[in-house]
Amino acid sequence: MDRAQMQQRLDELIWRVEEARIKRSEHHIVKIVAVSKYATLEQIRMLYDLGQRAFGENKVQMLQERVDALEDLPIEWHFIGRLQKNKINHLIRANPFLMQSLDSLELAEAMQARLEREGMTMECLMQVNSAREESKAGVDPDAAVETYQQIKERCPNIELRGVMTIGAHVDDEAVIRKSFETTYAIFDRLRSNGADICSMGMSGDFELAIECGSNMIRVGSLLFK
């Protein structure tokens, strides 16, 4: 893929985000996180050069490799994948701008112990399993507000910024919308606890997610595949 093709893909994505954003509100702002697992280092550099600043990786080892390989660029790195406890130290070394997939109080407490030992903090989003799908990680929606507050109370080295979800993995748009609306309602309740990020929507459903209130989307295949 050459620079002109990359520019076209980015422009088309931004246009679609703008249309969805304005349906929600003229004042609604949406951040695009480019999911770079499909991308080469050269493509990441190219997209950065075109103005994209936030990039996401879903594997800790790949995140660390790319942080190191692209350390000359002030990229805003996001970790968006499931984190195993034995990889916590690797994540802390990579030190992403935002960890989006904090999926349980148990994981938060394990991270808190390591962060405290290293004298570090990390900004995170709590992942909500809004569709209640067994294949997905995340906190049950009914327990989400309480779990969020427990993490804030017990894990001072974790700075919670809001919530993340993956839309229901079905073809029925009404079911997908319901999963986004469920998460947005939780986010709305957590604003009084300092929540300001609602990360919902990927390449196949980001417009619907934005209409439901998402202010951060995670898009990979539309840019790189």
Cα–Cα separations (whole angstroms), residue 5 to 10, 11, 188, 206, 211? 9, 10, 38, 21, 28
The pLDDT value recorded for residue 131 is 87
What is 3-224's CATH superfamily?
A: Alanine racemase (3.20.20.10)
Q: pLDDT tens digits, the chain, 225 residues: what are they?
A: 899 999 999 999 999 999 999 999 999 999 999 999 989 999 999 999 999 999 999 999 999 999 999 999 999 999 999 999 999 999 999 999 999 999 999 999 999 999 999 999 999 999 999 988 888 899 999 999 999 999 999 999 999 999 999 998 888 999 999 999 999 999 999 999 999 999 999 999 999 999 999 999 999 999 998
Cα-based angle 81, 83, 89 (whole degrees, multiple of 5): 125
Domain ranges of the chain: 3-224
The pLDDT value recorded for residue 135 is 80
Q: How far is it, in rounded angstroms, from Cα 71 to Cα 86? A: 25
Cα–Cα separations (whole angstroms), residue 104 to 78, 87, 171? 18, 15, 28
The pLDDT value recorded for residue 169 is 87
The pLDDT value recorded for residue 225 is 85
Q: Tell me phi and psi for residue 170, to 5 degrees.
A: -140, 170
The pLDDT value recorded for residue 124 is 98
The pLDDT value recorded for residue 119 is 97
Q: Tell me phi and psi for residue 217, to 5 degrees.
A: -120, 155
The pLDDT value recorded for residue 133 is 84
The pLDDT value recorded for residue 134 is 84
Model pTM greater than 0.85? yes
- If we measure between CA atoms, which residue out of 221, 212, 200, 209 comes closest to residue 12? 221
